[in-house]
A and B are shown apart, each in its own frame.
Chain A
């Protein structure tokens, strides 16, 4: 059956973990201070503890982005996406410095914009570290007929990348 809540261990994650780290991988959810946690509606950050020493993959974000149907959005945009039929779930793999290694879409339940799920389109976010602005149609390729979805994922990737660097900074200060 169609999942309602976010699957935090989707098949695509299992495959990627195996591919990048053939050894054992442990996902440990990052503790996030309440003042930062309010930025996440449906998503979690993890650190990746791998037996493969050379693995670059150190952090992971999995979350849901509620979009809206082209030409029709929810009246109450602040509501949770639990009742929304238009959303997608995706993952961001980061290195130790919070730089993006890879983005993958694990579940796409949106009527338009399926082109964003391809690894080719998502590869343009590789090496992004949150320090610059991401703008659809400028440094992110626009897709005709999929403005809402492109804007949604562009915004969320920039937001979550910046959030991770803040979390890492806070954790470093604590240590």
Chain B
């Protein structure tokens, strides 16, 4: 841990000195508004947003629908020079929740190597990085990108990214803060939501053990992009704070409050003319769950975090307007099949909960009015292993990106 912090400090110091040497700063004092107005193309602004309507359908019961400004995100970036930039995204979720989704500094070391530090997106799968509503089909993101990979997943960290053009490879490698597993007597992880509630999102987060994540993408075959993502590390526990390192009982107690996660993601995207195919596979192994579930028992009932989770989907869509020469709009009917199971495996005496194993079929239309604007409608059929029939939800939504 100490070594990681020291390394981060050294790297930041080196780049800080370098930046001072290469940038000639004006002596003229300017406030933020002055800088915005005189940015001369250095300031970047943009955003995306999505508004959703969901209507559960039932042959026997009446159900109210829900309407929600699910996400409204404002992007602000600043190019200090051609090598150094700051990227940030401010997000309103469900109108009332405010988050910082990204806030990082990027410095180009050379054409193949960039240094990044700050609040970073974890490079896991497709959706966590490509989550703007005009980049995917479906009113909501695929369910495995909520249940297995907790998008939008971001943590504070640092690392390197780059493109190796001759090899058609893009890579990212970061040291990041991990999930909060146990804090102030409260366990964040369980069988129902998996790791999702453990995200710290850079909000007064704490660290007891750094995590490692990376992704490699190969794009050397025309219209095909294949990605391999990985994430490794222990969850964080507040019980480590202030304990005597020689106190074996206290250390053992803290050790029981953490799990270790190893996640891999394999994804592929392929376009051929108007045909769009994509697939995603996630597998997460979670260690030490038996001790964790016992340690985080409530009212004598053990917690139910699974020892492995799995999720995958395959999706096909086709732009039926591809051959209409007098329109630039796109109409994409699509169908997606996905499965996720947060109790793919369990440890100790825990019995698998069949309700955590779900099949979901989503089919609908994406209508791209202009570049950056999508109208969406879909029907989603979902059924858990414990259910006897599929539940049905009609959804419609508007997505924009600018």
Contacts and interface: CB of A to CB of B under 8 A. Distances in A.
Interface string B358-382: 0000000000000110000000000
By DSSP majority rule, is chain A's interface helix, strand, loop, or mixed?
A: loop
Interface string A112-137: 10110110110100000000000101
A118 B45 contact: no
Nearest to B134: A147
Contacts of B89: 71
Interface stretch (A24-32, A103-111, A153-161, A166-174): A103-111
Interface stretch (A34-42, A44-52, A55-63, A72-80): A72-80
A144 B278 contact: yes
Interface in B279-331: 319, 322, 325, 328, 330
Contacts of B319: 137
The bracket for how many chain A residues form the interface is: 35 or more
B221 interface: yes
Interface in B92-130: 106, 108-111, 130
Given A71-B401, A85-B79, A79 B273 contact: no
B47 interface: yes
Contacts of B220: 118, 120
Contacts of B328: 135, 137
Given A137-B330, A143-B271, A72 B44 contact: yes
A141 B271 CA distance: 8
A144 B269 contact: yes
Contact of B44 (A69, A80, A82): A69
Contacts of A147: 134, 371-372
Chain A CB within 10 A, most for which of B73, B269, B271: B271
Nearest to A110: B163
Contacts of A118: 168, 219-222
A80 B371 CA distance: 24
A143 B219 CA distance: 11
A14 interface: no
B165 A105 contact: yes
B276 A2 contact: no
